[in-house]
Amino acid sequence: MLMISDLVVRYPKSGENALDHVNLSLHKGEFVCVLGKSGAGKSTFIRSINRLQVPTSGRVTFDGTNLTTLSEGKMRRIRSDMVMIFQHFNLIPRMTVFQNTLTGAFGKRPPYKNLLGLFSEKEKQRGLQALQEVGLEKHIHKRVEALSGGQKQRVGIARALLQDPKLLLGDEPVASLDPSTSRRIFELLKSIHEEHELLSIINVHDVNLAKEFATRIIAFRDGKLLFDGKPEEVDDRMFADIYQ
């Protein structure tokens, strides 16, 4: 489903590659957690997949389409199959839970409808259903700025569901949350992943969360792919290698 071939990212004025000749093949149904110490390249990797970060060289192929050479218009269409969950939620603070959730449908609608904020009954029904899935149906009319961090991330996930994605990307989605809330968010992500048969690729700092939820773990060190394997293969020695 997703092929990463010889991917290199070098930021301007940097003497080193943030991602250094990475090769990976990732499949539908995999819940991939990405590990690595700060600066290892995790975020650059996630952002290169949906071309928020343009690769310096190499290739990202999604469902048979080479994204690296795609025009911005075609990329926008492909991006509507990909969704990103962010550390700081990226919600619109003054809008309600319901309004924020409905913006998830924007990528698949004509722009004038988005400008006018017109939503069909079917879209509204889908919004409500997504909020039920994340357990926020009682809060639909609250402004998101009044919510806790965990609730905000649930809105982020409901919004993602409205997009009906095939690929879920998470750039440190629990880094701003306490340990028990983080665990609940991972439980939710995993159940949504299974329910909607996604490929999920999620950066996480907490190795225990990765080991508990991932079906596959990859780890970067200095931009290079250091590990690619099963969660139980991340033993103390590998842990030390990743975080040395």
Ligand X SMILES: Nc1ncnc2c1ncn2[C@@H]1O[C@H](COP(=O)(O)OP(=O)(O)OP(=O)(O)O)[C@@H](O)[C@H]1O
Which residues contact ligand X (rule: CB under 6 A)? 11, 14, 18, 36, 38-44
Closer by beta carbon to ligand X, 48 or else 163: 48
Please report, in angstroms and rounded to a whole number, the separation of the first and last CA atoms in the chain.
Answer: 32
Nearest to 104 by CA among 148, 175, 154, 70: 154
Nearest to 9 by CA among 60, 48, 52, 67: 48
Inter-residue contact 101 to 158 (CB < 8 Å): yes
Work out how close the CB of 169 gets to ligand X at its nearest, in angstroms, rounded to a whole number.
Answer: 13
Work out how close the CB of 120 gets to ligand X at its nearest, in angstroms, rounded to a whole number.
Answer: 38
Closer by beta carbon to ligand X, 32 or else 40: 40
Work out how close the CB of 138 gets to ligand X at its nearest, in angstroms, rounded to a whole number.
Answer: 34
For residues 233 and 227, give the distance between their C-alpha atoms in angstroms, rounded to a whole number.
9
Work out how close the CB of 85 gets to ligand X at its nearest, in angstroms, rounded to a whole number.
Answer: 15
Looking at the DSSP bridge assignments, the partners of residue 199 are: 167
Please report, to the nearest 10 degrees, the dihedral formed by the alpha carbons of residues 63, 65, 70, 76 taken in order. -20
Closer by beta carbon to ligand X, 19 or else 144: 19
Work out how close the CB of 102 gets to ligand X at its nearest, in angstroms, rounded to a whole number.
Answer: 30
Looking at the DSSP bridge assignments, the partners of residue 168 are: 83, 200
Q: How far is CA 78 from CA 9, 73, 84, 173, in A?
A: 21, 9, 13, 22
Work out how close the CB of 228 gets to ligand X at its nearest, in angstroms, rounded to a whole number.
Answer: 16
For residues 207 and 200, give the distance between their C-alpha atoms in angstroms, rounded to a whole number.
17
Cβ-closest position to ligand X = 43
Closer by beta carbon to ligand X, 16 or else 232: 16
Closer by beta carbon to ligand X, 4 or else 136: 4
- Using the Cα atoms of residue 169, residue 145, residue 184 and residue 160 in order, give the sign of their dihedral: negative
Closer by beta carbon to ligand X, 113 or else 224: 224
